[in-house]
Amino acid sequence: MDLATLIGFVGAVGCIVAAILMGGEMGMFVNGPSIMIVVAGSLAVVMMKFSLSDMIGSVGVAMKAFLHKSQSPSEIIEQSIELANVARKEGLLGLESVEVENEFLAKGITMVVDGNDPELVSKILSKDISLSIERNETGLSIFKALGDVAPAMGMIGTLIGLVQMMSNMSDPKSIGPAMAVALLTTLYGAVVANVLALPIADKLALRSNEERLTKSMILESISAIQEGLNPRMIEGLLNVYLPDNQKSKSEDKAA
């Protein structure tokens, strides 16, 4: 569970709801036609830009913003050194008995234990990385598109409401409520874009970069283990991926 995403989302929604309740009743901010225009209309427009399978797949990708827990690079380095030590003492077949939590690393180790050629292992894992990043970027693009479309649909709904209001100017008492309803679609569009769609898109971009870094480290560690490199050389090779402040800690720990 990504607490930052969850706390941020709940906090933003909580602030909006609190502001509404402090100024009046919640019911006045609920309007069926406005919700239909912004939510259903925005999804329909975004669907025009992407395939149906991409839209369905984006739901699973979006869960990474809330449920994904990434493994730190230092943990991957420690696991890789452990695997390298086992391979050095017991051979590549000895890696079969080591429990590996990271799915991508486990996949690579399984291929190594099965005796696949290093070039084939690297090719398959590299393809896995590129396809995974592509799926993330598609999901990211969908939520960015939703963030762009929702405010525009809100404005369209407001214009529809204003036209309906202007056509009924004979009743002055209805102007105020009609104006309020017209403005609700703008509010809905702003909330959908800035509280949901765009923050998720930004978090998915962060997750995509983390995944690219993590899987690149794993690919390099598997190639080094398969080549039979010394564990200390592997550690030095992988430490390049760490920020400077983490490099010093890792080196002190190794010493």
Least confident of 135-149, 158-172, 211-225: 158-172
Whether the per-residue pLDDT at 162 is higher than 90: the answer is no
Mean predicted confidence (pLDDT) in 48-77: 84
Whether 86 maps to a domain, the answer reads no
pLDDT confidence tier of residue 221, bands split at 50, 70 and 90 = very high
User: Which tens digits make up the pLDDT trace of 100-157?
Assistant: 888 899 999 999 999 899 899 999 999 999 998 888 899 899 999 999 999 999 999 8
Whether the per-residue pLDDT at 193 is higher than 70: the answer is yes
Angle between helix 73-90 and 244-254 (nearest 10):
40
Residue 228's region, left for phi above 0, alpha for psi from -120 to 50, else beta, is left
State the pLDDT at residue 189: 95
Going by C-alpha positions, the residue among 178, 154, 194 that lies closest to residue 16 is 194
Whether 14 maps to a domain, the answer reads no
Whether the per-residue pLDDT at 45 is higher than 60: the answer is yes
Highest mean pLDDT among 3-12, 23-32, 86-95, 147-156: 147-156
Going by C-alpha positions, the residue among 82, 60, 202 that lies closest to residue 132 is 60
* Contact by Cβ (8 Å): 222, 125: yes
Radius of gyration of the CA atoms of the chain, in A: 26
Whether the per-residue pLDDT at 84 is higher than 70: the answer is yes
Whether 184 maps to a domain, the answer reads yes
Whether 185 maps to a domain, the answer reads yes
Whether 155 maps to a domain, the answer reads yes
CA distances from 127 to 101, 107, 132, 222 (A): 21, 13, 8, 15
Domain count, the chain: 1
**Structural domain range at position 134:** 30-72+120-254
Whether 177 maps to a domain, the answer reads yes
Residue where the block lists tokens 């003492």: 89
State the pLDDT at residue 246: 63
CA distances from 73 to 80, 125, 215 (A): 10, 18, 10
Highest mean pLDDT among 142-156, 165-179, 202-216: 142-156
Whether 62 maps to a domain, the answer reads yes
Whether 99 maps to a domain, the answer reads no
Going by C-alpha positions, the residue among 114, 102, 108, 106 that lies closest to residue 127 is 108
* Contact by Cβ (8 Å): 135, 215: no
